């Protein structure tokens, strides 16, 4: 599919993340401090809440779907409404629209506009679904012979995280405190995390409820769209707490997502297959067709006041399990899925060192620090560092991107229990 042209000139370049082919959904604050729904087009935001209030657009049989300024109510209306709305917005923004001048009042510059969480996060589940990531981490801690857990090739492993910790790009976070125990210590200490890390992930947003087990095909239909996701991880807290039940406080500091939800429809031209299976999957996990996407990804690290260094480049097509498989597996016990559930893909890593999606892997547990363009070295994230995830599916002369998924790490607070 070629680049689709818009009357918004900035949407017609190969550099923008937001051509007419994309039309991702976000939420922003107006100059009056109200939260509105918006659609990104070039370097502008189309104010959907204002369009609805003025009667320019309307969802059939619904009133004020966008009044509260997030996309949760709209998601609940289902795929048929999603498709109709996307077609209507595409028509409004296409270069042959009859009255573009009348719509310019609904455009807001992205620069200088504060973005908000685009939907209400109901629940958050994080998976561990990249073969190369799991192999690298397992090799570090258990050796190459036992790198993968016995169940890994048969089941999408996941854990239930904290929806309350999800925050939108641009929101700073503080280095967490927790229990730490070095191998040469008899007892743990309570101290700030020393091995703070990122995890480059994609997040799938569930747009429809389920009331029992669903197939992979049905799960794919339930997914509203995708975001970039950074599942911040306190590796030293995790090392002490994770046996036997897995991550807890080490993953509860923050999870940063991109401000824009790229609808599944925009990613359709970029579908690709999961890799050849190393072990046959059970029938309920078999895919009816391509369920992954070809999305180029990168991670940038910028020390405070200094230029950014790209420390990783990989692709979403490296995942062993797709989001549809993860969602289908999530329902096998009868677990109900809700509108606004967020599924983290798990760290996305490729076979090469430069394709690793976490500093734990890139520096091999801190033993092989990397050198930044500034001359500084890093084993893990330091105070003042800004980490930015970027991603885009690359088409013929255009890109379908997510915008930056960025956050700065602030120093830990003073001992929160010191009175």
Q: How far apart (Å, rounded) are the C-alpha atoms in residues 263 and 136?
A: 32
For residue 354, indicate whether it is catalytic.
no
Q: How far apart (Å, rounded) are the C-alpha atoms in residues 72 and 175?
A: 31
Residue located via tokens 């039309």: 23
CA 60 to chain centre: 30
Choice among 133, 329, 330, 354 that is catalytic: 133
Angstrom CA distances, 385 to 71, 194, 366, 372, stand at 31, 14, 17, 12
Pair type for strands 158-160 and 124-127: antiparallel
83 phi and psi, to 5 degrees? -65, -40
For 55, the token pair is 């009667």
Contact 234, 195 (CB under 8 A): yes
| C-alpha Rg value of the chain to the nearest Å | 22
Q: How far apart (Å, rounded) are the C-alpha atoms in residues 21 and 24?
A: 9
Long-range interactions of 221-225: CB distance < 8 A, separation 24+: 221/79, 222/327, 222/337, 223/264, 223/323, 223/324, 223/327, 224/71, 224/75, 224/82, 224/261, 224/263, 224/264, 225/24, 225/25, 225/261, 225/262, 225/263, 225/264, 225/266
* Cβ density class 10-40: b for 16+ within 10 Å, e for less: bbbeeebbbbbbbbbbbbbebeeeebbbbbb
- What residues act catalytically? 133
């Amino acid at each position: 599919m070629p680049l689709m042209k818009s009357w918004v000139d900035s949407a017609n370049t190969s550099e923008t993340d937001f051509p007419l082919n994309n039309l991702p959904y976000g939420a922003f604050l107006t100059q009056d401090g109200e939260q509105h729904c918006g659609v990104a087009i070039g370097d502008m935001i189309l104010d959907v809440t204002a369009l609805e209030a003025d009667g320019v657009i309307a969802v059939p049989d619904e009133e004020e779907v966008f009044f509260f300024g997030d996309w949760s109510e709209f998601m609940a209306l289902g795929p048929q409404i999603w498709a109709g709305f996307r077609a209507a917005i595409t028509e409004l923004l296409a270069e042959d629209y009859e009255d573009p001048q009348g719509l310019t009042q609904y455009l807001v510059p992205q620069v200088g506009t504060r973005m908000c969480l685009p939907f209400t996060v109901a629940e958050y589940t994080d998976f561990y679904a990249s073969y190369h990531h799991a192999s690298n981490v397992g090799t570090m801690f258990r050796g190459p012979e036992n790198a993968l857990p016995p169940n890994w090739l048969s089941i999408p492993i996941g854990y239930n995280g904290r929806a309350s910790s999800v925050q939108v790009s641009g929101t700073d976070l503080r280095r967490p405190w927790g229990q730490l125990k070095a191998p040469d210590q008899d007892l743990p200490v309570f101290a700030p995390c020393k091995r703070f890390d990122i995890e480059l992930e994609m997040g799938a947003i569930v747009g429809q409820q389920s009331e029992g087990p669903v197939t992979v095909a049905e799960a794919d239909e339930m997914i509203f769209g995708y975001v970039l996701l950074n599942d911040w991880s306190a590796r030293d807290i995790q090392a002490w707490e994770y046996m036997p039940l897995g991550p807890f406080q080490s993953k509860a500091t923050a999870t940063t997502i991109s401000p824009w939800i790229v609808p599944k429809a925009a990613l359709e031209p970029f579908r690709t297959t999961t890799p050849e299976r190393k072990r046959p999957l059970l029938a309920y996990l078999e895919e009816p067709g391509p369920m992954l996407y070809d999305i180029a990804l990168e991670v940038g690290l910028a020390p405070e006041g200094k230029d950014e260094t790209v420390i990783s480049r990989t692709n979403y097509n490296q995942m062993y399990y797709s989001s549809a498989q993860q969602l289908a597996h999530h329902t096998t016990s009868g677990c109900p899925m809700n509108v606004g559930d967020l599924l983290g893909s798990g760290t996305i890593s490729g076979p090469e060192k430069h394709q690793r999606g976490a500093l734990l892997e890139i520096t091999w547990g801190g033993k092989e620090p990397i050198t930044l363009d500034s001359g500084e070295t890093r084993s893990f994230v330091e105070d003042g560092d800004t980490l930015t995830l970027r991603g885009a599916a690359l088409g013929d002369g255009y890109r379908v991107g997510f915008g930056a998924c960025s956050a700065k790490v602030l120093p830990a607070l003073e001992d929160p229990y010191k009175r």
